[in-house]
Chains A and B, each alone.
Chain A
Amino acid sequence: MLALLPPATLFVFLAPVLVGLAGTLLPAFGYLPAIGAHDLSLAPWRDLFAWPGFGSALRLTLSVGVLSSLLSLAGAVALVAMLSGTRAFGRVQSALAPLLATPHAAIALGLAFLLAPSGWIVRLISPEWTGWTRPPGDLVTIRDPYGLSLVAGLLTKEIPYLVLALAAALGQVPAQRLIACARSMGYSRGSAWLKLVLPQLWPQIRLPFYAVVAYSLSVVDQALVLGPGNPPPLAVLALRWFSDYDLARYLPASAAGTLQLGLVVAGLVICRLAEWGVGKAGRLWLERGRRSGAADWLLPVAAVPTGVVLAAGLLALLALAIWSFAASWPFPAALPLRWSLSAWAGAGERLQGSLGTTVLIAAAATAVALVLCVGCLEQEARRQRKPRNGLLWLLYLPLLVPQIAFLFGLQVALVRLRLDATLPAVIWAHLVFVLPYVFLSLADPWRALDPRLARSAASLGASPARIFFRVKLPILLRPLLVAAAVGVAVSVAQYLATVFAGAGRIATITTEALTLASGADRATIGVLGFTQTILPLLCYGLALTLPRIVFRHRRGLA
């Protein structure tokens, strides 16, 4: 029974991706019988390349992807290098939790308000310092043609993610001893960190970084709010065409989705090559043996803007919260002139229904993911298999493949199975994204569990099942709960997966928020964005406090 779980798990979350990819690739080459397209051809690609804004859209996609991947890596490394080993590190990590928990879309909405020419920052310094009683007509901040505000939006989400990955990896590297040793040999702290610690961390943050690259190249939800629209990045362009009532547009849309996939694959290949080059160069750099150098001022200099970006992200969340209580907040007032609960009252009714659905879907997807992951890990432990790297790549597949490249094809399959617009379909679609995250956050603690505990229990006559339920699960309660919280956060943030599998009939708070984002006032957007933030945060909070309550008599576990 247990032996069947690993293959079942792979099927559950890989089948949708592979089926979906096939269903997008075929139309990209002119095969979509539903609209009478039977002949394989390159016409969809010609349509795509001939679109007036194609060149700009491609350039924009690439520059946003490259810039935000590199900056988030540099920022996260600088921050962790400066803070690791200090007490502040823990506090910074907890401060980043809200950013981790908040869906991309909600942060984008908050940032848009923070940075716009009529936004909070300009309001705070106007009119006293700027003399502006009206927003400047010629200042371009959000939706700039170079996508810089979109890059900022991505950084607020990806830096905390990479910081988390680095912090987790640090647990397995004796960083402080390495640094102490290097310092005794005269290396400066920054040089020691970059030369000794980072190379050992890299293998463990490689995949998270690749996920960041893939996401930055194919971002949709943040691009809708923060990115330029004329033309938009490629992924948004594909979605635009998918929504055209002219069905023939689906063919170039599929071509754009396929190109998006190609870009991500190329991006990852380039990363791999760059790793090799950087590794070679790094070895030379190490061998030269300079005790200090650029690293000493580069790291602090990089850490400062990183801190600014993260602070902006937190301010954006605060702005959302304030807006949700604002009755009247005209420019250039720094705070609302009148406060009210009416947006909350108005949204309350619609939230009731969608909140329940959101929680149900998140709970179900997370529960299934937990059972599958725990089953796989337990099987691995009993067989005493070594974790394989190839498996990890498979796990990351849904995070590396652009959603636009397979969700359409997956919908075709769901309709064929007559599963679309049902809760199970939505839960399954969420599972595709929830499962990898749950596995990643659970795998390390599970594998790090001291095997002597199980052996002691076995020598006392406990069966494997009894060991599992009475020894392993209680000890691992905390990581299990954290993994569950991560799963819920991922599920809550899913927009596309909900919408295509639910055929628009199943509403979660995230679909409600994005439906309204096109038309509603800021107070209502604030309510929904804030709720999107609060729900995952509550789960994280529970995951951290519950063990303390359950194990209040066992300090080692709490």
Chain B
Amino acid sequence: MKDRSTRMITRRDTFRLASAAGAALIGGGALAEPRSPQAADWPAILAKAEGQTVYWNAWAGDERTNSFIAWVGQEVKKAHGVTINHVRLRDTAEAVTRVLAEKQAGRATGGSVDLIWINGPNFLTMKEQTLLFGPYVEALPNWAFVDTTSKRSNIVDFTVPVEGMATPWRMAQVVYLYDSARTLASSLPRSIAAMVPWARANPGRLTHPTIRNFLGSTFLKQALAELVSDALVLQTAPDNAGFAAASAPLWAWYDALRPHLWRQGLEFPETGPAQRQLLVDGEIDFYISFSPAEAATAIANRQLPDSARVFVLERGTIGNTSFVAIPYNAAHPEGAMVVSNFLLQPETQARAQDPRHMGNFTVLDLDKVPPASRALFARPEGVPALPTNAELGTVLAEPHPAWTTRITAEWERRYVR
């Protein structure tokens, strides 16, 4: 639900490099024509979209999301005659590289990627390399419902202004999951500092995903957000000295914590969901997640016991928005816009928020949504594991993507032996 650079490395990854290298050999470079659709263009876009197949490149490690995408496919087929082909990624970077390769090969139209689920460093890369189509969100009729004031991450992604080049579709916020039947809520650490004595008292019962996974670096970013003396420094890319100074408390904290982590902090689960299995097996007591509804959805899917709950930290946790973006050379940008618009439909957002389906908090401003649709967003009865917005507390902004890169590199330098 973040940048999805899960970093679980597989053989698939060769294709990205290969396509980058191979495509570049095919042709020379060419730049895209800027195209900015307006609201008035919508009927024409709808007409053109009919019959198109949208290749939606999306990380496929989460079954609930996969099912949701399949459902979106059925609906847009019925409503607009657009077919969705879910290109299942292990890593969002695969799709980014592919577009980059096509740009280098001069394939300025007819690209193989129509829509990407994206944010964070991958979004920054695409924006910096001008690989994005748009700005286009103003053309989407449902854009009017999007919360652009109190949910700032809908228009500023990891400190990078989105500028209408991507459609927000789901919110994410750091929470920690535990099993209330096994662990008393009052015994859990509610601050980053409190995690060290907790881990000392409960050796081996806490872990985080490997640093190459986005949740692994988020675990450290969350700590940094609380430990840094001036949170403002996180809003821009740091230089060497700035990074060393600002991150010093983080490494001191981590050095104290690491020996008491699962497997003495020498091994880490590959992904976020891999932690869930460790919790179920009783190897660990709580774990980091980016989905506030994870406990509720996992209970509904019988992946966690009914007693699973989430908690957050007193001083707030990092939150962000997931987007879909259209590459500049997409073969079917009209179809991709129709899908983007469908994702913002109140009914779609309500389904996405329903913990029985995906359990992602909506990007819409409920005051802007037609009154008739508002009731769809009420917390369903009998889902005690779903936190309220009040329980989720303060949402902290994501640091600039450069912090992620630097934290990852520094962690490897310090702890890979």
Q: Which of A's residues lie within 8 Å of B, judged by CB? A: 23, 27, 32-35, 51-53, 56, 116-118, 134-135, 137-138, 140, 143, 145, 220-221, 224, 228-231, 236, 239-240, 242-245, 247, 250, 253, 327-328, 330-331, 340, 342, 346, 350, 403-404, 407-416, 418, 420-421, 495-497, 499-501, 503-505, 507, 511, 514-516, 518-522, 524
Contact = CB atoms under 8 A, between A and B. Distances in A.
29 contacts: A33-B21, A34-B22, A220-B11, A224-B8, A228-B266, A228-B267, A229-B210, A230-B416, A239-B14, A242-B16, A243-B10, A245-B5, A245-B96, A245-B121, A247-B97, A330-B282, A411-B15, A411-B22, A412-B25, A415-B19, A415-B25, A499-B15, A503-B19, A504-B12, A514-B10, A518-B271, A518-B274, A519-B272, A520-B273
B20 interface: yes
Interface in B88-119: 88-91, 93-94, 96-98, 100-101, 104, 112
Contact of A145 (B13, B266, B274): B266
B170 interface: no
Interface in B10-43: 10-26
B282 A134 contact: yes
Contacts of B395: none
A194 B327 CA distance: 65
Interface string B157-184: 0000000000000000000000000000
B412 A53 contact: yes
Given A413-B22, A496-B10, 8 more contacts: A53-B416, A135-B282, A229-B267, A330-B282, A403-B11, A411-B15, A420-B15, A519-B274
A414 B15 CA distance: 10
A412 B101 CA distance: 11
B8 A518 contact: yes
A318 B14 CA distance: 33
Nearest to B94: A504
A331 B19 contact: no
Contacts of B89: 504
A245 B122 contact: yes
Nearest to B272: A519
Given A224-B8, A504-B12, A414 B18 contact: yes
A420 B98 CA distance: 12
A268 to B, nearest CB: 23
A327 B21 contact: no
Interface string B266-282: 11101111101110111
Contacts of A117: 283
A411 B10 contact: no
B203 A504 contact: no
Given A34-B104, A135-B282, A412 B61 contact: no
Contacts of A34: 20-25, 101, 104
A137 B18 contact: no
B205 interface: yes
A34 B22 CA distance: 7
B266 A230 contact: yes
B11 A421 contact: no
A231 B13 contact: no
A230 B87 CA distance: 30
A244 B409 CA distance: 13
A342 B212 contact: no
B7 interface: yes
B96 A499 contact: no
A515 B90 contact: yes
A245 B19 CA distance: 13
B78 interface: no
A496 B22 contact: no
Contacts of A247: 17, 20, 97, 100
A411 B87 CA distance: 18
A412 B22 contact: yes
B282 A239 contact: no
Contacts of A137: 203-205, 262, 283
A415 B18 contact: yes
B9 A504 contact: no
B17 A408 contact: yes
B65 to A, nearest CB: 10
Nearest to B89: A504
B12 A500 contact: yes
Interface string B129-145: 00000000000000000
Contacts of A331: 281-282
Nearest to A502: B15
Greatest chain B CB density within 10 A among A253, A403, A408, A415 is at: A415
A503 B98 CA distance: 10
B381 interface: no
Nearest to B95: A504
Nearest to B15: A500
A495 B273 CA distance: 22
Contacts of A421: 112
Nearest to B62: A519
Contact of B14 (A140, A231, A500, A511): A500
Contacts of B10: 220, 224, 239, 243, 495-496, 499, 514
A507 B88 contact: yes
Given A239-B10, A239-B14, A243-B7, A519 B21 contact: no
B48 interface: no
A488 B238 CA distance: 53
Contact of B90 (A56, A250, A518): A518
Nearest to A327: B302
Contacts of A524: 63
Contacts of B87: 504-505
B99 to A, nearest CB: 11
B189 interface: no
Nearest to B417: A56
Contacts of B14: 239, 242, 404, 407-408, 411, 496, 499-500
A533 to B, nearest CB: 20
A325 B266 CA distance: 33
B125 interface: yes
Contacts of A504: 12, 15, 87-89, 94
A104 to B, nearest CB: 12
B250 to A, nearest CB: 18
A410 B24 CA distance: 15
A511 B11 CA distance: 10
A51 B276 CA distance: 31
Contacts of A242: 9, 13-14, 16-17
Contacts of A346: 63
Contacts of B17: 242, 247, 250, 253, 408, 411
Nearest to B10: A514
Contact of B283 (A135, A230, A520, A522): A135
Greatest chain A CB density within 10 A among B8, B21, B98 is at: B21
Contacts of B272: 519
A27 to B, nearest CB: 7
A312 B303 CA distance: 27
A240 B267 contact: no
B181 to A, nearest CB: 10
The 3 closest A-B pairs by CB, nearest first: A411-B18, A415-B22, A137-B204
Interface string B341-355: 000000000000000
Contacts of B415: 230
